[in-house]
Amino acid sequence: MTDSRQRVVVIGSGFGGLFATQALRRADVEVTMIAKTSHHLFQPLLYQVATGILSQGEIAPPTREILARQENARVILGEVTAIDLEAHTVTSQVLRRETVTPYDSLIVAAGAGQSYFGNDQFARYAPGMKSIDDALELRGRIFGAFEMAELAETEEEIQQLLTFVVVGAGPTGVEMAGQIAELAHRTLRKDFRRINTRDARVILLDAATQVLPPFGAKLGEVAHKSLERRGVEVLLGAMVTDVDERGLEVRFKDGTDGLRQQRIDAITKVWAAGVAASPLGKTLGEQTGAPLDRAGRIAVNPDLTLPGHPEVFVVGDMIALDNLPGVAQVAIQGGKYAAKEIRNRVKGKPSQKPFRYFDKGSMATISRFSAVALIGKLKLSGILAWFLWLVIHLAYLTGFKNRFTALVHWAVSFVTRGRQERAFTEQQIFGRQAVERLDGGASSLVSRPGEWDAVRARLEANAAEEARLTDERRRGVPISSESVDP
């Protein structure tokens, strides 16, 4: 059966992609959403998965389920590897299956990844916080550090294991540091026999001179003091110059011109600094001549389209337009704007005015019952800001089921000492290194996503060999040692 409706392809199931697709619900179009994960990820709560408050399912519902009732939308899994603006096609891959999807209109909402400012090798020892994989790896590393400290023989080893460093004092870094401090000082304090978890050091460091720069000096100072009251050491003007398994090297700018180098011994490091837009921006830039900024974000027209390509919209974290911040509301409003423009075109209506972002404010939690919020000129802090944070995050969590269980888990974590989601597996902690070993010791897959193909091919070959051997065993064929790949 052929469908004569206009074909809209949406890349990404994050805030931009999902809200754009939902806004096309009643349009006379056929929507195909292509994303490399099968879920819609609520990134602002990743830190709660990493610190055992929420489960991954609560912040990452399946996109397919969210869109199940939207009959004009289809979801396909795949990593987009090419966009051909002339041929109007998007090529995506999952394992080694390639799919080419033609489009009449395209919305690109592939978001951003972690940036290590040219030092991708840091990722091995200091995971970022961009995906469910990252959050679960960090959960394993954080809770695992307490477990290993309980077994450690020397004071020095215990101290290394009980030192947690969070790099980046933006909202994610502040939230992570606050939660790790709460784990050490409150949640875990009665669970161990040999170590005193309250001896843990939680260090938040940043090259900037204040905590939460986008919130302004006053709220930054409130957050800084509140963190210190909760036992977090805040080190500002501190640049990370190297990271290894056992710690990191930091260079401090001391007021005047003096620079001081210091080593911090810490097994657990979290990288919450720096973002790099999806590499798809580069592909689009090369085909249109649109420039990219330092974070790889592409310059778009005021109506979010690409120069010379009114049929292609780019939204969310990937765009450089009027200094818009990389926040969820920019992506949501951009996705809805692009969808409305497509609806208008289908109906023959005139175009909208240029995209204008409506800033609804920003907030960051510091710990339970403590947050800061900036809404227009209104500056809030303490418990009032925290309740506002709670209500807003609950409202934006997708799906009734998720809201309900998140609320129960928040009650458990904030009212009692409990944390429901402390389980972690060895694979979560060591998965990254295992994959690197499999790849023949390549330094970092983060910088070379294409390398995953080689790893996958090797895994598939191993699986095929295993299946063959199992089959032979079942059929009673004698197995020679040479037939097993060591």
Ligand X SMILES: Cc1cc2nc3c(=O)[nH]c(=O)nc-3n(C[C@H](O)[C@H](O)[C@H](O)COP(=O)(O)OP(=O)(O)OC[C@H]3O[C@@H](n4cnc5c(N)ncnc54)[C@H](O)[C@@H]3O)c2cc1C
> In whole angstroms, how close is the CB of 43 to ligand X at the nearest point?
3
Are 277 and 284 in contact, with CB atoms under 8 Å apart? no
Using the minimum distance from each CB to ligand X, give the nearer residue, 162 or 364.
364
Contact residues toward ligand X (CB under 6 A) are: 11-17, 34-37, 43-44, 46, 79-80, 109-111, 129-130, 171-172, 278, 280, 316-317, 326-329, 331
Q: How far apart are CA 52 and CA 183, in angstroms?
A: 9
> In whole angstroms, how close is the CB of 475 to ligand X at the nearest point?
42
Using the minimum distance from each CB to ligand X, give the nearer residue, 123 or 327.
327
Q: How far apart are CA 306 and CA 322, in angstroms?
A: 15
Q: How many residues does the chain have?
A: 486
Using the minimum distance from each CB to ligand X, give the nearer residue, 93 or 288.
93
Partnered with residue 90 across adjacent β-strands are 83, 101
Structure tokens at 196: 């005193």
> In whole angstroms, how close is the CB of 147 to ligand X at the nearest point?
25
Partnered with residue 8 across adjacent β-strands are 31, 105
> In whole angstroms, how close is the CB of 99 to ligand X at the nearest point?
11
Using the minimum distance from each CB to ligand X, give the nearer residue, 37 or 119.
37
Structure tokens at 75: 């979801």
End-to-end CA separation in angstroms for the chain: 51
Longest alpha-carbon distance in the chain:
78
CA atoms within 13 A on the CB side of 113: 17
* Identified catalytic residue from 175, 182, 341, 421: 175
> In whole angstroms, how close is the CB of 78 to ligand X at the nearest point?
6
Using the minimum distance from each CB to ligand X, give the nearer residue, 81 or 159.
81
Q: How far apart are CA 278 and CA 298, in angstroms?
A: 10
Q: Which residue is nearest to ligand X (CB)?
A: 14
Are 230 and 222 in contact, with CB atoms under 8 Å apart? no
156 is an active site residue? no
Q: How far apart are CA 23 and CA 26, in angstroms?
A: 8
Active site residues: 175
